[in-house]
Amino acid sequence: MGCDVLILGAGVAGLSTAIDLSRAGLRVEIIEGRERVGGRILTQFDAILNHSVELGAEFVHGLAPEIWLPVQEHDLGVTEVDGDFWCSTNGKLEPCRFFREVEKILSKMDDRSPDQSFLEFLVQKFPGNDHDEAKQHAIAYVSGFNAADPAQVSVQWLVHGRAAEEEIQGDRAFHISGGYQTFLDLLTDDLASRQVPIHLNTKVQRVRWNTGQVEIGVVSGKSEATFSGPCAVITFPLGVLQSAAQEAGINFDPQLPAEKLRALEKLAMGKVVRVTLCFRRRIWEDITAQEKTLAGMSFLFSDDKLFPTWWTQMPDPVPMITGWAPAASAENLRGMSEGRIVQKAIETLSRLLGLKPSVQSELVGAYFHDWDLDPFSQGAYSYVKAGGEGCQRTLGAPVDSTLFFAGEATDVSGHNGTVHGAIASGKRAAQEILALR
């Protein structure tokens, strides 16, 4: 029996596409270059702490139905993030008070004016030295949350993303018990029950296509093979597609249409380095600042050049804390070894909290993954450059009813960079194929 649809990539976009198509009776095969499914979901388990550790996607942002419907159907455990927000300013720990001022700045953005970068917006709307501290916090928020260069990121895109978040209460965040791997297991179990083949460790080298026919050249181990079918869904991350467009990676024959190449130029792959440190005990809970302990600390913000943002697992009291180095901070860590990056994270945390160097003796584990150097992702998640709003729709549009596209960078609902955005894009691609049957 032949295959109706080839799906390139076993991240949540590809898995979701496969589920919807197989439920509709189509014969589907998934091709994945990694030795695992999940894409930029990568959950590990710390045996000492008996707790999951996320190296990729971690938070469930808001109440998106793409995640909450299966979570509720299968009664997965979910905990809402809670706790205190602390700031380290000039070596002083204090409760954060900048949110209201940052919100005032962000609320001045609109999508009715010609598009511009976030930095250009700040210069235009808040000239001079007024509101300097609030502006710096706003820059840190945009670069931290979106992993975006504030000198490039589109204001219109930010506005549309904020509106989309508001619709699903995106200011709320949750953890799934057992990590995103638990959610991923729901998808893979569904596909296994439908006997959908997933070819792991099968690297795509060539996508040769013409109307109504696709041939995928792959390498698995030392063997080469070809998969063929009437159409394919391409779920490669943005960084991989951009490499292909520059003829530095997967070969498309013929090359993708010019409008897609132009869309790729208007998108950027955000950079992030994250390190999760596991300790014997919660080393921060006995620290006191302004007559209050840090026992309830959820997030810690600072202007540190390497790891400006940290978060715990609150309200879960596990002694684990994650350092987040987005955008320029990730660039500052470029070229360092994993051991050196972990050491920098420990030094940063110790400095921000005023801990003694001996704190390293409390460390029981450190977890790190470099998504920028990962050949199957080539970055963290996507954002839109100034002047590029709408290019996600162009990137995601089908070509000759033969090539279909999914993945968080192609999401048109305003949820780029999220798991639920990736799932929504896969469901959209499935509907586009089914509409042609």
- What is the percentage of the chain residues whose pLDDT exceeds 70? 100
Do residue 396 and residue 254 come from a single domain? yes
The pTM for the full model equals: 0.96
Average pLDDT value for residue range 110-136: 92
Do residue 264 and residue 276 come from a single domain? no
354 belongs to a structural domain: yes
pLDDT at residue 437 in the model: 85
Do residue 155 and residue 191 come from a single domain? no
Answer whether the bond into residue 315 is a cis peptide, omega within 30°: yes
Do residue 107 and residue 233 come from a single domain? no
Which residue has tokens 């008070």?
A: 97
For the stretch 270-307, pLDDT in tens is: 999 999 999 999 999 989 998 999 999 999 999 999 99
Do residue 210 and residue 135 come from a single domain? no
Do residue 394 and residue 261 come from a single domain? yes
Query: Range of 351's domain?
Result: 43-83+173-178+270-368
Q: Please determine, for residue 91, whether its predicted confidence score (pLDDT) is greater than 90.
A: no
Full strand arrangement of the beta sheet holding 272-279: 92-95, 84-89, 297-302, 309-312, 320-326, 272-279, 363-368
Q: Which class for 145: exposed (0-12), middle (13-18), buried (19 or more C-beta within 10 A)?
A: middle
Mean pLDDT estimate for the chain: 96
Last residue of one domain, picked from the residues 368, 400, 425: 368
Do residue 261 and residue 275 come from a single domain? no
Do residue 134 and residue 122 come from a single domain? yes
Last residue of one domain, picked from the residues 146, 167, 188: 167
Domain holding 324: CATH number? 3.90.660.10
401 belongs to a structural domain: yes
pLDDT at residue 326 in the model: 95
Q: Where are the beta strands (DSSP E) in 82-234?
A: 84-89, 92-95, 173-176, 198-199, 203-210, 213-220, 223-229, 232-234
Do residue 284 and residue 349 come from a single domain? yes
235 belongs to a structural domain: yes
- Whole-angstrom CA distances from 39 to 184, 231, 371, 417, 426 are 10, 22, 10, 13, 14
The pLDDT confidence band at residue 1, using thresholds 50, 70 and 90, is low
Do residue 280 and residue 149 come from a single domain? no
Poorest-pLDDT segment among 61-70, 122-131, 169-178: 122-131
373 belongs to a structural domain: no
379 belongs to a structural domain: no
Do residue 36 and residue 185 come from a single domain? yes
Q: Please determine, for residue 218, whether its predicted confidence score (pLDDT) is greater than 60.
A: yes
89 belongs to a structural domain: no
380 belongs to a structural domain: no
Do residue 257 and residue 399 come from a single domain? yes
91 belongs to a structural domain: no
Domain holding 34: CATH number? 3.50.50.60
- Split into its structural domains, the chain has a count of 3
Last residue of one domain, picked from the residues 368, 398, 426: 368
The pLDDT confidence band at residue 131, using thresholds 50, 70 and 90, is confident
